[in-house]
């Protein structure tokens, strides 16, 4: 995939992060957010479905006060999102929803609760 498309996609992720409400953005520390083309074999879901994003880490609700933690990692997968639609506007919406979904996991919000909130289809 051309570098221009990769750069555009990375800007979509950055824009989604910039659009986070301040109360969430200011509480996000020690979180690495990366864009990868595709999930690795270990990251792929057992059901063979597409994976748009992945949160890896210890949610804030599961942390002790004194324990040191390695940085959490949120990965947004470009390939599955690009294959879903060629519409730049729809890709931006999917990226935004996926970023929000994965960040919600960082804050300890479960998939069940995300579905209740209407954000359960991105993971």
Q: Over 80: is that where the pLDDT of 4 sits?
A: no
Tell me the average pLDDT across 85-89. 92
Q: Over 60: is that where the pLDDT of 121 sits?
A: no
Which of the four pLDDT bands, split at 50, 70 and 90, describes residue 122? very low
Place of tokens 């949120």: 74
Domain boundaries along the sequence of the chain: 3-116
| Calpha distance 98→104 (Å, rounded) | 10
Which of the four pLDDT bands, split at 50, 70 and 90, describes residue 119? low
* 3-116 fold: Zincin-like (3.30.2010)
Q: What is the DSSP string of 17-30?
A: HHTS-HHHHTT--S
Nearest to 75 by CA among 114, 108, 122: 122
Give percent of the chain with pLDDT exceeding 70: 89
Q: Over 60: is that where the pLDDT of 14 sits?
A: yes
Whether the Cβ atoms of residue 119 and residue 104 lie closer than 8 Å to each other: yes
Say what the pLDDT of residue 120 is: 57
Nearest to 32 by CA among 60, 80, 79, 70: 70
For 109, half-sphere exposure in the C-beta direction (CA atoms, 13 angstrom radius) is 17
CA 48-52-53 angle, 5° bins: 115
């Amino acid at each position: 995939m051309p570098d221009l498309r990769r750069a555009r996609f990375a800007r979509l992720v950055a824009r989604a992060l910039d659009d986070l409400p301040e109360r969430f953005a200011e509480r996000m520390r020690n979180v690495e957010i990366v864009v990868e083309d595709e999930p690795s074999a270990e990251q792929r879901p057992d059901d063979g479905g597409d994976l748009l994003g992945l949160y890896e880490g210890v949610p804030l609700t599961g942390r002790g006060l004194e324990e040191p933690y390695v940085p959490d990692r949120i990965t947004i997968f470009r390939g599955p999102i690009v294959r879903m639609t060629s519409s730049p506007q729809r890709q931006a919406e999917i990226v935004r929803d996926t970023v929000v979904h994965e960040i919600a996991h960082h804050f300890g919000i479960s998939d069940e609760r995300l579905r209740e909130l209407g954000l359960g289809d991105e993971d």
